Amino acid sequence: MAAEKIGRLKPDWVTVFGLLLACGGLVGGLILEGGEIKDVAQVTAGIIVLGGTLGAVCINTPGPVLRGAIRRFRGVFFSTELPIAATVNEIIHLANKARKTGLVSLEDELPKISDPFLKRALNMAVDGSDLSEMRSAMEMHISIEENRAEAEAKVFEAAGGYAPTIGIIGAVLGLIQVMKHLEDIKEVGHGIAVAFVATVYGVAIANLIFLPAANKIKARIAAETERREMMLEGVVGIVEGLNPKLILQKLEAYYLVDKPATGKTGGGPQSMAA
């Protein structure tokens, strides 16, 4: 028995809805105040804010971390399925087999395991690694992956800090151009209004995209870390020879999805424990 293969992406409709709601609120408020979309549709302001922010981020961030952050940005709008129930089922299945035929018999199950972390932990267990060494190695793996992901999330936090400042710079650049035409007061008023669009862009991009993206990525990191900790606890329980029912009770603390109704076979983790 193998767990569901992880890695399948599905749209995060909550993120999409939130972004549309925020943009709709801003544009709707502008229109209700008597403004027009063309008032804030300034290509030059967008170029200044986006170009300046991305440039500052590139200077601030090492190349490998920046590349990782770009790849991780996809996770803001798409969520990777984490089959918690199926993973628990798989661990209980492995515990039952180890209890009946011995730990070494799980070597035949290794090719069927799709999750790299679970496969690595179980492989160390089958190879006879000392339990404390195995736990230490896998906990270090979890910590390294978590730190790497946290560094990638901080890229978007940095961008959220730079964008408003770059927006202010854009506004100042616009005001410089306005000061060249003080003889026409009408043009001065229009120019000042246009100049402050860059500030709006900087604040909006920071608070609607960059900072929320950083927090969403951190939430994904926390969920994945918790899932790996669950798998490690399961493998440790198998190595210790614990009863599968006891392992199930320990793993239920990590079981994040609703359990199916009792009495149905093959559904949730409880049906697997022997």
Above 80 in pLDDT, residue 180?
no
Task: Give dist(CA 95, CA 78) in Å, integer.
Answer: 33
pLDDT tens track for 21-68 = 998 998 888 888 887 887 788 888 889 999 999 999 999 999 999 999
pLDDT tens track for 196-255 = 889 999 999 999 999 999 999 999 899 889 999 999 999 999 999 889 999 988 888 776
Report CA-CA distances (Å) from 210 to 169, 213, 229.
19, 5, 29
Give me the pLDDT at residue 155, please. Answer: 96
Task: Give dist(CA 82, CA 18) in Å, integer.
Answer: 22
- Letter for the amino acid at 196? F
146 vs 41: which has the higher pLDDT: 146
From 8-22, 171-185, 241-255, the region with the lowest mean pLDDT: 171-185
Residues 205 and 163 sit within 8 Å (Cβ to Cβ): yes
Give me the pLDDT at residue 266, please. Answer: 42
Give me the pLDDT at residue 190, please. Answer: 65
- Ranges of beta strands (E only) in the chain are 9-11, 78-80
Q: Predicted confidence band at 271 (pLDDT cuts at 50, 70, 90)?
A: very low
Above 50 in pLDDT, residue 2?
no
b/e per residue 141-167 (b: at least 16 CB within 10 A): bbeeeeeebeebbbbbbbbbbbbbbbb
pTM reported for the whole predicted model: 0.79
Give me the pLDDT at residue 252, please. Answer: 83
Q: Predicted confidence band at 273 (pLDDT cuts at 50, 70, 90)?
A: low
271 vs 28: which has the higher pLDDT: 28
Residues 218 and 40 sit within 8 Å (Cβ to Cβ): no
181 vs 32: which has the higher pLDDT: 32
pLDDT tens track for 60-117 = 999 999 999 999 998 888 877 667 888 888 999 999 999 999 888 898 889 888 889 9
Closest by alpha carbon to 128, among 108, 105, 104?
Answer: 104
